[in-house]
Amino acid sequence: MTYVDLVLQRLSTDDERDAIVGGDTRLTRAQARDLLFRLADGLVQRGIKPGDGVAVYVGNTPEAVLLNLAVHLLGGRLVYVPPEPGRSELEALIKKAEVAAVVVDPSFGTQLDGWHLQDLPGDPVERVPEPEYATVMYTGGTTGLPKLAVHRSGRTALWETRANMPPMNMLSNTLITHGSGAGATMTALLTGSKLVLGPSKFDADTFVRLAREEQINMTIFVPPMMYEVLDHPECPGPQFHVIVGGSPLAPKRLRQAIEKWGPVINQGYGMTEAHAITMMPAAEVDLANETTLRTVGKKNPLMEVETRDGDVWVRGPFVMEGYWGEPTLQEASDGWFNTGDMGYFDDDGYLYLNDRSKDVIVTGRTSDNVYSRLLDDFLVTLPGIRQAAAVAQPDEALGEAVHVFLVTDRDVDFDSIRDSVVAELGELYQPRGLTIVPQLPLTKVGKVDKRKLRSLFR
């Protein structure tokens, strides 16, 4: 039994119950089931066979969620395309992914001749016995053209676990074509929950409205989204549980969220290439114990996690098979994957992340490491600073100097900030430059884009 079978079981009961809500579209379970079969039948009519690749260039819509299911129903290879790619990037990704078809959301501005949903019969398609489906997900692309990470149907183990969760009213804020968004949408459907899709580009005003109108009791964030909601003048009070992933939370912001919403903040550590690496349940966070605000939790029992010379390595069922067109991890490294994160375990088995290895600032005559995340987390504890990002700035004497970009809600004094940093973290961490910005640039999946900030110095 695949996760698609589990979803179909949910969609085959309580026909009039809400299944998926997005924009102006509201689908009951019966309507969602009908549309799923229409989409699958349309793919079959156009020659899609088990193993064929189907690239999807879509936004956060109910139709897109069901299209993803339809591809896997047929045993196809689902290839997510990043949002807002340039023409050359889009062409390069599709060529590299070796797909048989591309499905485009017309609202993305690319109109293609094709078929329309109302023209499709919607009859149940011939099922593929035990299909070996695959999902190909683009990486964040912060180091160049995104790579394509391949996950096979072994993730069914994860879905079967989630299917036992109680139904919810879930608001997914992240892109459904990225790991956290895809996981959230499938979790909602597997549990028989009402899935509410936020817009493709996050907007705190819309979140506040949807949380109220749809009676949301579970939501998914990456940290910058949660910070926007916490800073919103109409930030909701306690009403929902929260899952946060994508990057670690600043301890001050985690404390603020718990004080606002209660002990309901669950953190997960993962990435496109490796899902569900560690988990930090809300119940294990203790405001009186600062270390519990900094950890990303203990390893998933189904995963192996090691630190090697400070680098975090993982192996297990939720790690990708490899990058499309490259040797598999099994061939290259016995299944182990270097996450690119630097961290350590404490004696109780909790994992702490120091920084992304590419974000470490190497400075001074002795080439010491400045962990930018540690500095970011401290800066937001200072009065007037809402968000912070420390990056390396080329420096003739030091090699790299610390430069900080800040989002503030009042005037701040650079000398005072520098003195506070030195007093707390030492001379090595003192900023040599400061830039005030209205907002920090984000990657396509909502993480702070430090690569873009570093490029300002070139």
Average pLDDT of the chain to the nearest whole number: 89
The per-residue pLDDT for 112 is: 40
Least confident of 3-7, 67-71, 195-199, 309-313: 3-7
pLDDT at 57: 85
- CB distance 307 to 298 below 8 Å: no
CA-CA distance, 17 to 436, in Å (whole number)? Answer: 48
Q: Tokens 């390595």 appear where? A: 313
> Is there a contact between 457 and 437 (Cβ–Cβ < 8 Å)?
no
Q: Which residues contact 415 (CB under 8 A, 6 or more apart)?
A: none
- Please check the confidence at residue 163 and state whether its pLDDT lies above 70: no
Q: Which residues are within 8 A (CB) of 309 and not within 5 positions of it... i.e. 6 or more apart?
A: none
Which range scores top for mean pLDDT: 75-79, 244-248, 346-350?
346-350
Report the C-alpha gap between 260 and 73 in whole angstroms: 42
Which amino acid is residue 178, in one-letter code? H
Higher-pLDDT residue of 68 and 161 is: 68
Tokens 């550590």 sit on residue: 269
Contact 378, 394 (CB under 8 A): no
Q: Residue holding tokens 């048989």?
A: 100
- Following DSSP, what letter does each residue of 214-266 receive, concatenated? TT--EEEE-HHHHHHHHTSTT---S--EEEE-SSPPPHHHHHHHHHHH-S-EE
Out of 68-77, 279-288, 316-325, 440-449, least confident range? 440-449
Least confident window among 144-148, 154-158, 364-368? 154-158
Write the burial class of residue 159 (CB in 10 Å: 0-12 exposed, 13-18 middle, 19+ buried).
Answer: buried
- Whether 191 contacts 168, CB under 8 Å: yes
More confident residue, 186 or 132: 186
Helix (H) or strand (E) holding 352: strand 350-356
Q: What is the band of 116 on the pLDDT scale with cuts at 50, 70, 90?
A: very low
Q: How many CB atoms lie within 10 A of CB 144?
A: 8
Count other C-beta atoms under 10 Å from residue 400's C-beta. 20
First to last CA, the chain: 53
**Buried residues in 438-454 as b, exposed as e (16+ CB within 10 A):** eebbbbbbbbbbbbebb
Pairing of strands 194-197, 18-22: parallel
Q: What is the pLDDT of residue 236?
A: 96
What pLDDT, on a 0 to 100 scale, did the predictor assign at position 83? 67
Q: 360-455: which CATH architecture?
A: 2-Layer Sandwich (3.30)
Q: What pLDDT score does 117 carry?
A: 43
Residue 106 has pLDDT above 80, yes or no: no
Residue corresponding to tokens 């009039």? 16
pLDDT digits (tens, 9 = 90+) for 25-63: 999 999 999 999 999 999 999 899 999 999 988 889 999
Poorest-pLDDT segment among 129-143, 233-247, 335-349: 129-143
pTM, to two decimals: 0.87
Q: Could you say which DSSP state residue 442 is in?
A: B
| Residue-level pLDDT at 130 | 54
Beta bridge partners of 350: 298
Q: Residue 311 above 90 pLDDT? A: yes
H-run or E-run covering 212: helix 204-213
Q: What mean pLDDT is predicted for residues 88-111?
A: 77
- E strands present in 273-415: 278-280, 297-299, 304-308, 311-315, 322-323, 337-345, 350-356, 361-363, 368-370, 385-395, 399-408
Three-state DSSP at 362 gives strand
Hey, where are the domains in the chain?
3-353, 360-455
Task: Give, in words, the CATH class of 3-353.
Answer: alpha beta
- Predicted confidence at residue 118, as pLDDT, reads 46
**What's the rounded Cα separation, in Å, for the pair 185 and 63?**
12
Per-residue confidence band for 160, with pLDDT thresholds at 50, 70 and 90: low
Q: Given a cut of 90, is residue 144 above it in pLDDT?
A: no
**Each residue's pLDDT tens digit, 201-250:** 899 999 999 999 999 999 999 999 999 999 999 999 999 999 999 888 99
Give mean pLDDT, residues 277-298: 96
Cβ proximity of 149 and 139 under 8 Å? yes
Average pLDDT over residues 346-370: 91
Residue among 42, 168, 57, 161 nearest 102 (CA)? 57
